[in-house]
Structure formats: structure tokens, C-alpha cells
Structure 1
Amino acid sequence: MSMLTSSSGASAVLPVEYGEIVTKPVEALSVAYLTGTKVLTNSNSYEIPILASDVTAGAIAEGAEITPSDAAFNPLRVVPAKFGGLTIISRELADDSNPSAADQVGRSIARQIANSVDNSLFNALSAPNPAGFASLSGISTVGAPVAYTNLDPFEEAVSKSEAAGGRITHWVTGAATALEIAKLKDASGSNRGLLNPDLAVEGRRTILGRPVVVSPYVPADVVYGISKDDFLVVTREDTRLDVDHSAYFSSDRVGVRGTMRVAFAMPVPAAHVRITNAAS
């Protein structure tokens, strides 16, 4: 159905605030929400306490006093950035009571926002975009050969993440790199793929038991190993879908704007790994 047509003659105004129409599709479409842990906040910023030093503990004699000590914390403060999308629709569509009309408008805006969120996550973009993996200081790195011949770089990535206290749960890469790895065979002269299929999801491949997620926003020849527990997607609770009847008054159209505030936090940078081909 076109954004400028309506299939119903009923009269029901699209709600001024309909944030769920934006929030749910973004979370379903964005790689950030698939691979990270969502955290909600109603504040302008979100502060994460990072343990800098542990409480002192050790063996003591029976009946002896235990010397108290304090744990030290370094706060990590993130400020959710505003992502927004705008579409123009006819008044007939805005007045359509058919739920699919409102859903289509919301999903159109949500796709724009989801793409922008993932672009920020995997590329070093300037402000006001939030900082993502591409600009993460302290992320673990692994070098891969120009052409993959085995899964050794991924084994090394898992080891580096574990050494930092992480646990890689997803691999994220571009389509070309995913295809290159998928073509690896389990033996010379064999037609059987080296990667394991995820039997729970049709068509999904896994590397060392972790699902491979494809994103067009990951640079060529780069694979990210992400530890879900150490990747927070901080989301403000004020996601909105706003309707304005005045801006396009002369053409009898209505502006529909969706806004959502998102930031990324990686409290333990080394828990995540960036694998880069030597050719890059």
C-alpha cells in the first residue's frame, strides 16, 4: 500500500505518541539489539560502575579480626544519541483506522533508525553518532590471512575474549566475508562445509557454535566477535512516533516523525574481538 493512499474510508486519527510501533521493529531489525543486552533508562545519561580493584581477601587465623577494605569503581558514562526518521503521508492514510497503515508507517521509520544505529555501531562516525566497535579503545584484535583456510583466527578470538572475562556469543561480518568463510570445506577434496548449521534457525551458519550475523555496515575483511553480556545497548524510554498536521497544510499531507535515543557501552573492551584480514 502506498504511503499516499488509503484503503479505508473510516476515520480514526493515528495516535500522537505510538512509540511501540518504532521500538519493536528497530529491536527486531537492528544487529545491535540482536547481539547486545538492552538496558532501559529514563535519564539523559546512563552510568555504569566498572570495578577497578577488588576487595582485599585472604586467609586469617581463627578468631582474628578481618580487616575491612573497599572496592574501587571507575564510572563509565554514556549519553544516548537521538536517531530520527521522517516520512510524509496523505491525510487519508493518517485517518485510516486499519492497524496495518500505522504499522507500515512505523516500520518504515524504524528501518531508517535501525540502519543508522548499526552504521554507528560498526563505523567510526562523527558526533552526534554514538561511539561503537570501530572506535573502541582496548578491543582485542586478531590477524587473519588474506584468504581464510581454517578457523584458527576464530579460535584465537574466543581465547582472547575468555582471557578478558568475556564470552563471544555472536560473529558479525559483511556478506562477502561471510560467504568466503562459508565456502571452507572440512577436508581437501570434500564438498562438506566446515561451518556448522544452526539447526534451530533455518539457513543460519555457526562458527565454533556461535551464530554468524551478516550486516552491510561491517567494513570489508572484518569480523567482530561480540560478547553479549559485555555489550550494553542503552535505550531511552521516550521513543516517540509524532504526527504533525500543520507543516504540510497546503498539500493536505501529514508529517510522521519517529525518534529513538540509543547509545552503546562496552565496559570490558577486551571481551570483544576484531578479526582483520591481512589484506585490509
Structure 2
Amino acid sequence: MTATTTSLHQIAPTDQAGLILTPLLEQAIATNSVVSTTHTTAGTSFRIPIVVEDAIASWTNEGEEILPSDVALDELEVTPRKVAGLIPVSRELAEDSSPDAATIIGTSLSRALIHQMDAAFLGALAAPAPQGLSSLTTPELSTDLSNLDALLEAKATIGIAGGSASVILSHPNDALKLAQLKDADGSNRALVADVSTVASLPVIQTRHATEGELWIIDRGAVHVVLREDVTVTSSTDVYFSSDRVAVRATARIDFGFPYPDRLVKVTISAA
């Protein structure tokens, strides 16, 4: 591949991070701080420690020996998978040296990568995409959404498993159903005053969630790993006949779910 000498080709690695990596970290659902613990790595894989059994503490008299105990540990290895976007742009835009031109192109590419990242995170896409929430075996509850009992039960389920619920992920249509709940039969008063918070948990709406399913998540049970080597490159070869420039962005991402029993799917059934 022959790279151009346009301003796009001259984007420094630090600027590439600003164009692509920063939006992935700041705008994706998967990397939201209430959804997951996010890591960046320079390595080809990343190991997440799993506490299988905690250490044991005991009450001890002053001066007595403290009994030792072992911590049972395991680890989950994740290997970031490549996600890539390729767009054609006019030569005029590619050679524009203004910061706005690079921002426009970077924004388009980062949106494309974020779309794929969140679709994989909430779904069960075929390889080579990483496996997401819908591919896991997790606790499941069902509700007709006439009340919030199932969400409270989901919080309790996570607590019993040793976690703490941090967020609800919802399709916008399911968030609408929550907003339309009334506090009593025949009442016009909403049960939920502000659908951005339900059952004391923040609600994040995303079109990548499956309609009819709510996910109640413990952020400590979700890890997102991104490789630091995000790249943005350009070439005139692909679109030579139309005098356009191909701009390609690549990133590598994977998800780790060390405690799937702290992730609860609530299925909404017909009332």
C-alpha cells in the first residue's frame, strides 16, 4: 500500500489517540465508568485476576499468633480483537491542513468503531468479534413491567453474589415503558419521576440493547481492554480512479466478564 503525503498521513500517534482512542474511552457505552472497569494495554493480551475465595480473617487476642489463610485466585485472559473502519474522502478534504478537517474525518471513523464496539458488548456477534453480554450464562429474571420488583430482585441477586449493582442498560423503547408506569391503577402520575434513575440506579439507553431485555450490571464484573496502538492511515491506491483518498482506522478491543453471576438479565414479558 502506498501512503499519501497528505496532512492525514502526517497525523502523529498522539493525535491519532485523540481522534480515535479518546472517543472510544469517553463516548462508548462499554467504557462508561458505571458500566465497566476499562484498561489500556500495550500487550497482545491482558490478564484479569479473579478472586475465587477470599482470605479469612478472625478475631484474635492481643499477643496471640494471627492464623494465616490463603486466597484462592484465578485469572481470565482477554486478547483484544481488531475492529476497523475505512472511508473514502475527497482529496481536497484529505489535504486540508486545518484541524477541522481531521476532526470531521476522525469523528466519522470513531463513531463507526464505537457502533461496532457497543454492538459487540451488548450482543453475541460471530467471530472475530469479541463475545458480549448476550453470549454469557447469567442469572435471568422476568417481569411484565407493571412494577419495579424485578429490578429490585436483580439488585439483590447481584448483592448475594458479592457484587453491587451500578447501572441499568436499556433499549430506548423499554426506557419509555418505564417512564409510562403509573403509581396506581387509574392514576396519571408517573411511578418513576425521572427515568434516568430507576431503583436508585442510573439508566443508560442504547439502541444496541435488545428490546425487551434490561441488563443490571455490577461494573466490577465487567472489564474492557483496549490496545494503545490505535492507528489512522491513508492511501490513494484504493480510489485512484476517482481521485479520492482512503482513510483507515483500526483499534483492538476485548471484554472480560470474570463474575457473570453479578450480571442480571431481566426479560420483559407481555402484560
Report runs of 4+ in structure 1 exceeding 6 Å deviation: none
Q: Deviations over 1:200-230 (max 9, x none)?
A: xxxx621012222111121221000122232
In structure 1, list runs of 5 or more residues that go unmatched.
Answer: 1-10, 198-203
CA–CA separation in structure 1 for the residues paired with 2:170 and 2:188: 24
CA-CA distance at 1:159 after TM superposition = 0.8
Amino acid at match of 1:51: V
User: Which residue does the alignment assign to 2:7?
Assistant: 13
CA–CA separation in structure 2 for the residues paired with 1:19 and 1:57: 45
CA–CA separation in structure 2 for the residues paired with 1:170 and 1:100: 35
User: Which residue does the alignment assign to 2:247?
Assistant: 256
User: Which residue does the alignment assign to 1:39?
Assistant: 39
CA-CA distance at 1:12 after TM superposition = 6.5
User: Which residue does the alignment assign to 2:182?
Assistant: 185
What is the TM-score normalised by the length of structure 2?
A: 0.88
- The residue matched to 1:189 in structure 2 has which SS? coil
- The residue matched to 1:86 in structure 2 has which SS? strand
CA-CA distance at 1:56 after TM superposition = 4.1
User: Which residue does the alignment assign to 1:235?
Assistant: 226
Pairwise mapping of residues 48-197 of structure 1 onto structure 2 (< 5 A)? 48-60=48-60, 63-137=63-137, 139-145=138-144, 148-197=145-194
CA–CA separation in structure 2 for the residues paired with 1:80 and 1:229: 19
Amino acid at match of 2:181: L
CA–CA separation in structure 2 for the residues paired with 1:261 and 1:190: 50
CA-CA distance at 1:60 after TM superposition = 4.9
Identity value in percent: 36
CA–CA separation in structure 2 for the residues paired with 1:143 and 1:241: 44
Q: Assess, with a 3 A threshold, how the Cα gap between structure 1 residues 168 and 68 changes in structure 2: closer, same or farther.
A: closer
Q: Deviations over 1:40-65 (max 9, x none)?
A: 11111110111122334434565544
Q: Assess, with a 3 A threshold, how the Cα gap between structure 1 residues 144 and 102 changes in structure 2: closer, same or farther.
A: same
Q: Deviations over 1:125-180 (max 9, x none)?
A: 1111111111123x2221112xx211111111111111112222221121221111
Amino acid at match of 1:13: S
What is the TM-score normalised by the length of structure 1?
A: 0.85
Q: Assess, with a 3 A threshold, how the Cα gap between structure 1 residues 62 and 209 changes in structure 2: closer, same or farther.
A: closer
CA–CA separation in structure 1 for the residues paired with 2:6 and 2:125: 41
State the number of aligned residues: 260
CA–CA separation in structure 2 for the residues paired with 1:100 and 1:113: 20
In structure 2, list runs of 5 or more residues that go unmatched.
Answer: none
